[in-house]
Amino acid sequence: RAVGWLTCDNMHHQWLLLAACFWVIFMFMVASKFITLTFKDPDGYSTKQELLFLTAVPEAGRSAEEKHFPGELKPTGKMLGDSQPVQPLVYLERLELIRNVCRDEALRNLSHTAVSKFVLDRIFVCDKHKILFCQTPKVGNTQWKKVLIVLNGVFPSIEEIPENVVHDHEKNGLPRLSSFSEAEIQKRLKTYFKFFIVRDPFERLISAFKDKFVHNPRFEPWYRHEIAPGIIRKYRKNRTETRGIQFEDFVRYLGDPNHRWLDLQFGDHIIHWVTYVELCAPCEIKYSVIGHHETLEEDAPYILREAGIDHLVSYPTIPPGITVYNRTKVQSYFLGISKRDIRRLYTRFEGDFKLFGYQKPDFLLN
């Protein structure tokens, strides 16, 4: 009987030991699941989304391992585990498109330009926050100038900047990159945050024509009294026509392969209608962000965050609908202009359309 009791007791101990082993295994599985859940992305993105993280092409001041969110994920201001800020895919795609077009030998004449004094004159400097802004007129540049004027400490707020000061380079406190030595220029180009804004090239030309030749501010009389007559003399088809400059005259001037001799006479006033390539040299200068006028509501806050200045200044309020592409307006302005002249205009601005992802305006060309 004693032997039987001992045997039963041993079996009882074995069952207890086996149960204890199962308990340890069960607890380990629970703990493992808890650890897995704890280390998931705090914002709860799905596995499919997590797989979409990209490694950015290195920029000045950024590591090659920097991670970025895909385009459909809005930036939250949060940091990933490696303490690097995230960047939506759309902005990376814009930079990648520029790199690809710049490598296209067939478009080389339309995408490349020398980093001349003309280009350096377009780039404004904020040394305090290490920012370079390339001016592309008729794309909301006045507002970006105001942002930089405040950052440079010339005025305490955007609202306090007089309109006549914004473009007065004696008073606005915005140094041009061309004012520095060659070594200082190169240092800033390599290390500063660099950006500019674009919009549909043809819609920008319409805006330039309206602003300079139709509305023609009183403080800029030379557009109507000097530049317009020069364009009319060379490009007006009907010599008996006595009206002021028409959009058709403007298109014929811009599409003329030999426009440069007239450009030289007009001087720096041509900045309002020359290509983005001629203004900012996007194939030669490695910009950090390219903003689009059509998505400025999202792009402006993003640029301020990327430049690290969103806590210091805000982009002025954008009136509703002002940045939306207006195809009807474009069609109405080009109505009655010959296909030959429109195609010649497109040929000149093709580099801008391709570099910045704007659709070829086949509704005007065919």
**What does the alpha-carbon distance between residue 141 and residue 62 come to, in Å, rounded to a whole number?**
27
In this prediction, residues 245-266 reach a mean pLDDT of 93
**What does the alpha-carbon distance between residue 144 and residue 140 come to, in Å, rounded to a whole number?**
7
**What does the alpha-carbon distance between residue 220 and residue 228 come to, in Å, rounded to a whole number?**
12
Both structure tokens of 36: 């897995």
pLDDT in tens, 97-145: 999 999 999 999 999 999 999 999 999 999 999 999 999 999 989 999 9
Residue 265 or 193, more confident:
193
Find the helix packing angle between 201-209 and 339-355, rounded to 10°. 120
- Is residue 334 predicted with pLDDT exceeding 60? yes
- Is residue 282 predicted with pLDDT exceeding 60? yes
Q: In percent, how much of the chain has pLDDT > 70? A: 76
Average pLDDT of the chain is 82
In this prediction, residues 69-80 reach a mean pLDDT of 34
For the chain, give percent helix, strand, coil, nearest 5: 55, 5, 40
SS3 194: strand
In this prediction, residues 31-38 reach a mean pLDDT of 39
Report the predicted TM-score, pTM, of the whole model to 2 decimal places.
0.75
Residues 200, 295: contact at Cβ < 8 Å?
no
**What does the alpha-carbon distance between residue 67 and residue 65 come to, in Å, rounded to a whole number?**
6
Residues 300, 291: contact at Cβ < 8 Å?
yes
Among 214-218, 224-228, 234-238, which stretch is predicted with the lowest mean pLDDT? 214-218
What per-residue confidence (pLDDT) applies to 170? 82
Among 5-9, 46-50, 227-231, which stretch is predicted with the lowest mean pLDDT? 46-50
Residues 323, 294: contact at Cβ < 8 Å?
yes
